[in-house]
Amino acid sequence: MVLPFFCLVTEGVSISRHICSSVAGLLALCLGSLALSETTSTQVQIRQVAMEVEDRVIGWRRDFHEHPELSNREFRTAAAVAEHLRALGFDEVRTGVAHTGVVGILKGGLPGPAVALRADMDALPVKEMVDLPFASKVTAMYNGKEVPVMHACGHDAHTAILMGAAEVLAGMREQIPGTIRFIFQPAEEGAPAGEEGGAELMIREGALAGPDAPQAIFGLHVGPVPAGMIATGSGAIMAASDKFSIRIKGRQTHGAMPWMGVDPITIASQVVLALQTIPSRYLDITKSAAVISVGSINGGVRGNIIPGEVVLNGTIRTFHPEVQRALHDKMRAVTTGIAESAGATAEVDIQTGYPATINDPVLTHKMLPMLRDTFEHFVYAPGFTMGAEDFSFYQQQIPGLFLSLGVLPDGVPMEKAAPNHSPYFTVNETALISGVELLSTLAIHYLSTNQ
């Protein structure tokens, strides 16, 4: 998953002060102060314990970075996670969920609701170009080919952060009013060809089910903005991601005599240009953004032969189901119309992928005051990105809030930073502790305010 950060927009916070002139008002003020004191005390404890586990979190992250594993093959990572949760005395640790996923259950010492925290574990088929003492030199088989492997999207950081949060919260379990479910998920980047995986399979195999099923879920993703900055928004924040394949069938002929055949390369060129006009000419872009991109064109074997067919592959990004359906229909109509007008045929195959990542508005706005008060570098960012994330499948089941955490290396301007999925992507490890504190605080605040 590629995660550009939201357009960062700060909101002012108005503070009103009231003077209580009655006994009832004074009592309310005292009770409010007591609640604030308890909240502050809990936050101080979370921050202190988080600082104590910082070195271990960095160590875990480096270990996972040096030994990355591709989707549905995260055996070593999953074993380390499960061993850690068992050592912390978790009430239940399930392994082998959706192939290599781990689900841990931590029951607090006080009664209350249930909440979930999620991290993804998989790496990418990317050759690392960063000069680090723990840089990856791993290779693995991917769709029948041997490829280099790298944590180029920061999932090593996500896993280490959630392991740190598990240690923080396990040390506070007697004070926790409810149950916390820790979901370590494989294959966020997509399962290998012919396999299932990721959040959708985790859900089917019970990651959110059973006793003490969570009523809400939180997750985060790292990216190249200032280290320690935390951002989130309400509603649709990341796009639905669909993929398409278009097969244009013409009639092969000699390149010197194109009139003797039907040229699928010329037709494919017209289709590519026409697809780009669909979002700008057929959709109301004032209501919703959309993108169609062709990523590969394959056809022909030599320069003097016009081939019999050409295949186009690409991606579609939308934010609303009705726009998604309209765009799919228009793609089919435009493509087949162009092909038929030239005497060819076109087969359009569109495969629906991840839904849009939609932060639950009620949950988001309930968490906002705490986020603003607790985290100095928190930004409310009411925008969206065309990146996609399978955290969206959890949000289709229960209210969810997905946040961003900045990990920009020191001294690197944002405009020159390597993005997620780049072979030069780098994590500023000083920000990891902010992620531990963030997930721990979200869990405790949710449980405490939903009694």
Q: Does residue 9 form part of some domain?
A: no
Range of the domain at 296: 240-354
Q: Does residue 28 form part of some domain?
A: no
Q: Does residue 440 form part of some domain?
A: yes
Q: What is the pLDDT of residues 127-158, one digit of tens each?
A: 999 999 999 999 999 999 999 999 999 999 99
Q: For 249, list phi and psi in degrees, rounded to 5.
A: -110, 120
pLDDT at 16: 30
Is 354 considered catalytic here?
Answer: yes
Looking at the fold, whether 57 and 194 belong to one and the same domain comes out as yes
Is 389 considered catalytic here?
Answer: no
Q: What is the pLDDT of residues 196-210, one digit of tens each?
A: 999 999 999 999 999
- CATH classification of the domain holding 407: 3.40.630.10
- CATH classification of the domain holding 245: 3.30.70.360
Q: Does residue 260 form part of some domain?
A: yes
Looking at the fold, whether 350 and 361 belong to one and the same domain comes out as no
Answer with the one of 304, 323, 354 that is the final residue of a domain.
354
Q: Does residue 74 form part of some domain?
A: yes
| Token pair 């740190």 in the structure block, residue | 164
Contact between 421 and 124 under an 8 Å Cβ cutoff? The reply is yes
Looking at the fold, whether 213 and 343 belong to one and the same domain comes out as no
pLDDT higher than 80, residue 26: no
Please state the rounded mean pLDDT for residues 54-75. 98
Q: What is the pLDDT of residues 370-400, one digit of tens each?
A: 999 999 999 998 888 999 999 999 999 999 9
Catalytic residue among 74, 128, 389, 429: 429
pLDDT higher than 90, residue 27: no
Looking at the fold, whether 203 and 328 belong to one and the same domain comes out as no
Q: What are the residues whose beta carbons fall under 8 Å from the beta carbon of 164, sequence distance 6 or more?
A: 50, 53, 54, 56, 57, 60, 432, 433, 435, 436
Percent of the chain with pLDDT over 90: 88
Averaged pLDDT of the chain:
92
Looking at the fold, whether 373 and 391 belong to one and the same domain comes out as yes
Looking at the fold, whether 53 and 201 belong to one and the same domain comes out as yes
pLDDT higher than 90, residue 412: yes
Looking at the fold, whether 206 and 250 belong to one and the same domain comes out as no
pLDDT higher than 80, residue 189: yes
What is the reported pTM? Answer: 0.89
Domain count, the chain: 2
The residue that leads in pLDDT, 361 or 41, is: 361
Looking at the fold, whether 71 and 217 belong to one and the same domain comes out as yes
Q: Does residue 11 form part of some domain?
A: no
Looking at the fold, whether 212 and 297 belong to one and the same domain comes out as no
Q: What is the pLDDT of residues 205-243, one digit of tens each?
A: 999 999 999 999 999 999 999 999 999 999 999 999 999
Please state the rounded mean pLDDT for residues 60-84. 98
Answer with the one of 287, 320, 354 that is the final residue of a domain.
354
Query: Which residue type is seen at 354?
Result: Y
Catalytic residue among 354, 380, 394, 446: 354
Give the pLDDT band (50/70/90) at residue 11: very low
Q: Does residue 207 form part of some domain?
A: yes
pLDDT higher than 90, residue 284: no
Looking at the fold, whether 136 and 265 belong to one and the same domain comes out as no
pLDDT higher than 70, residue 2: no
Looking at the fold, whether 217 and 266 belong to one and the same domain comes out as no
pLDDT at 38: 52
Answer with the one of 306, 321, 354 that is the final residue of a domain.
354
Looking at the fold, whether 333 and 229 belong to one and the same domain comes out as no
